[in-house]
Every structure is written in C-alpha cells, then in structure tokens.
Amino acid sequence: MTNRIRIKWSKGDVVAALDDTPTARQIIAALPAKSRASTWGEEVYFPLPVTVKKEQNAVEVVAPGTVCFWVEGRSLALPYGPTPVSKGDECRLVTTVNVLGKLAGDPRVLAGIRDGDAIEVTLA
C-alpha cells in the first residue's frame, strides 16, 4: 500500500509517495497538518504532531528526494542535496532517520522554501 501526500508552501508544492511503514501510517493519521519550515544546507524539515521510534532500517545517508522522518526532532526531513555534515555531494542527515518514501519529480523544487515559510501537508 502506498499513500500520496502533498507538501505545499506559498510558492509551490510537491507530491510524495509514502511506503507502508509504521512511521508513514502515523503521519497519514496526523494529516492534514500545518507547520513552519526550517532549512539546513540543502534540506528542508518541519515538525509534525507525530511521536515514533526509530525503525530497523533507519539510515543517515539517502538519495536526494527521499522522504525521511527525523525521530529526535519529530520532523519530516526532505533532503535534496548536501547538508553541513555531508561528505561531498551526498545527502547526509544529522542523525539516522526513518525512510518513508520518495518525492515525485525534481526534489530541487524544495530550494524555493525559506526558513519560516508556512507548510501544509495533506493527503494527495
């Protein structure tokens, strides 16, 4: 089972396909949700009203456009390029994260999001 979510901000939006994972099910149950974006290098993240544990397949380095959940920060994390802790061009997050799915289309559209932008997450 795959669920699709839409992540919307004032200047754009992106759709993501979420795999059927415990964390993804919690996020789907919490929607719709509104938040405020933060940026860290080429990563956008924002808190959601979800509390989960790290899953067995939690990783620190992902492909651009991977939809992740940062457990400690209770935030959806959307890396699209290098972060301050990356080695080279990799997408390295600050800690291991639960992998939820993948963005549709070019993840670089996230570069248009600024710190403090209003974010809305809904089912697509």
Question: What pLDDT score was predicted for residue 28?
Answer: 96
Mean pLDDT of 25-35: 97
How much of the chain exceeds pLDDT 90, in percent? 98
Whether the predicted pLDDT of 26 surpasses 90: yes
**Do residues 78 and 7 touch, judged by C-beta distance below 8 A?**
yes
Question: What pLDDT score was predicted for residue 47?
Answer: 97
Whether the predicted pLDDT of 107 surpasses 80: yes
Question: What pLDDT score was predicted for residue 1?
Answer: 53
How do the domains of the chain map onto residue ranges?
3-123
Whether the predicted pLDDT of 69 surpasses 90: yes
- CATH class, domain 3-123, is mainly beta
Q: CA-based angle 5:115:90, to the nearest 5?
A: 70
Question: What pLDDT score was predicted for residue 63?
Answer: 97
